């Protein structure tokens, strides 16, 4: 029976290499099993959700090819290469910016000029309404003080909810203390001051679930958990501890970075627990699949874009796929059979 296939990708900065690499390997396995080198992951997916780096990956996955608008512009390998080729540039700062920001104390740690340049090069003039599949990306409006959801459906219905994808990607990835808040305009011309959606939904799977419940997919109207195949990807399980003996004396400055990390990982764990319960209650527990590798030799820092760490992140993803063949092959087989059933 056809299910609504959902891909949801967590936030995590440069650690987006992990879910990106896993999705690349899933796409390659689909190509191998279908004997179709032109097959793309998006061909087997009905809905995509992403926060922060997960939003960038989702945008890359769904971006249409200008020469063939019903096909994706990038393979997942090309999407992941955005990180390998540009990570060091995005997370770099001049000596002048270091002093001006007092090494990230007075201002954001990194100027957003390089990030905006990379996003503009990759995503160009494409609008949210032109994405290949229904999707949702998260951000937070710091003036109106409310969660913001970039939704493909709303963008298609109303230009006041339509945005350049490059701006959506910048907004969802504007992590506090790392980058300045994004100020973007809708297609209608309204301005929105936004920060990283990870402040409230680092794991956007529950947001995806709620949105999909309201939608119609072919013959499936208002699907419940029984009608969904949810594949949720994390950016690496962070095991860094903060011993009480040291943390009890933390002040504001010492708590800033650990608190951001704890809040984001705590949100991801909570949402995963909630979805496990939801799918279990719907007697469809096998259709909620969480892919969350250990970091192994990779560092947990969201901004460590050194070549060695980016390679370690890639290796952690590869190891996870190789160590979990049954789980990964199950994802591949179910995506393929789900498309056949449609």
With a threshold of 0.85, does the pTM exceed it? yes
Strands of 82-227 (E only): list them: 135-141, 146-151, 182-185, 191-196, 216-217, 220-221
Would you tell me which CATH number, out of the four given (3.40.1090.10, 3.30.70.120, 3.90.1010.20, 3.30.420.40), belongs to the domain 4-341?
A: 3.40.1090.10
- According to the model, what pLDDT value does residue 255 have? 85
Average pLDDT over residues 169-184: 96
- Separation of alpha carbons 326 and 332, rounded Å: 10
**What is the mean predicted confidence (pLDDT) over 281-297?**
94
pLDDT confidence of residue 94? 46
Q: Is the pLDDT of residue 175 over 70?
A: yes
Does pLDDT of 233 surpass 90? Answer: yes
Q: What is the mean pLDDT of residues 265-291?
A: 92
Query: 117 Cβ partners below 8 Å, 6+ apart?
Result: none
Residue 142 to residues 148, 183, 197, Cα–Cα distance (Å): 10, 10, 11
**What is the DSSP code (8-state) at residue 48?**
E
Rounded Cα gap, residues 58 and 184, in angstroms: 19
pLDDT of residue 239: 76
**Where are the domains positioned within the chain?**
4-341
pLDDT digits over 200-228, tens only?
999 999 999 999 999 999 878 999 999 99
Q: What is the pLDDT of residues 21-54, one digit of tens each?
A: 999 999 999 999 999 999 999 999 999 999 999 9
pLDDT at 103: 46
Residues with catalytic annotation? 52, 196
Taking residues 161-169, report their average pLDDT: 99
Q: With residue 47 as reference, give the H or E element that holds it.
A: strand 47-50
């Amino acid at each position: 029976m056809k299910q609504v296939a959902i891909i949801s990708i967590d936030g995590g900065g440069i650690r987006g290499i992990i879910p990106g690499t896993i999705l690349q390997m899933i796409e390659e396995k689909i190509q191998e099993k279908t004997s179709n080198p032109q097959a793309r992951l998006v061909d087997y997916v009905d809905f995509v959700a992403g926060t922060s780096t997960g939003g960038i990956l989702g945008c890359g996955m769904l971006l249409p090819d200008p020469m063939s608008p019903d096909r994706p512009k990038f393979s997942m390998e090309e999407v992941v290469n955005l990180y390998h080729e540009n990570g060091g540039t995005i997370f770099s700062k001049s000596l002048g910016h270091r002093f001006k920001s007092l090494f990230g104390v007075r201002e954001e740690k990194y100027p957003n000029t390089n990030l905006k340049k990379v996003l503009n090069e990759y995503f160009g003039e494409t609008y949210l309404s032109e994405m290949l599949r229904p999707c949702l990306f998260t951000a937070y409006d710091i003036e109106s003080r409310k969660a913001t959801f970039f939704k493909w459906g709303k963008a298609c219905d109303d230009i006041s909810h339509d945005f350049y994808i490059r701006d959506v990607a910048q907004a969802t990835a504007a992590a506090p203390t790392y980058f300045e808040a994004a100020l973007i305009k809708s297609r209608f011309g309204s301005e929105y001051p936004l920060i990283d959606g990870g402040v409230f939904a680092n794991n956007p799977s529950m947001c995806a679930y709620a949105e999909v419940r309201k939608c119609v997919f072919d013959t499936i109207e208002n699907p419940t958990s029984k009608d969904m195949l949810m594949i949720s990807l994390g950016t690496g399980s962070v095991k860094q501890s903060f011993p009480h003996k040291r943390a009890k004396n933390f002040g504001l400055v010492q708590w800033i970075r650990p608190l951001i990390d704890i809040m984001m990982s705590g949100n991801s764990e909570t949402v995963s627990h909630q979805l496990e319960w939801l799918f279990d209650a719907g007697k469809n527990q096998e259709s909620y699949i969480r892919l969350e590798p250990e970091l192994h030799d990779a560092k947990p820092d969201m901004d460590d874009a050194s070549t060695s760490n980016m390679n370690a992140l890639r290796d952690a993803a590869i190891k996870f796929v190789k160590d979990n063949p049954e789980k990964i092959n199950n994802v591949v087989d179910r995506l393929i059979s789900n498309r056949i059933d449609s």
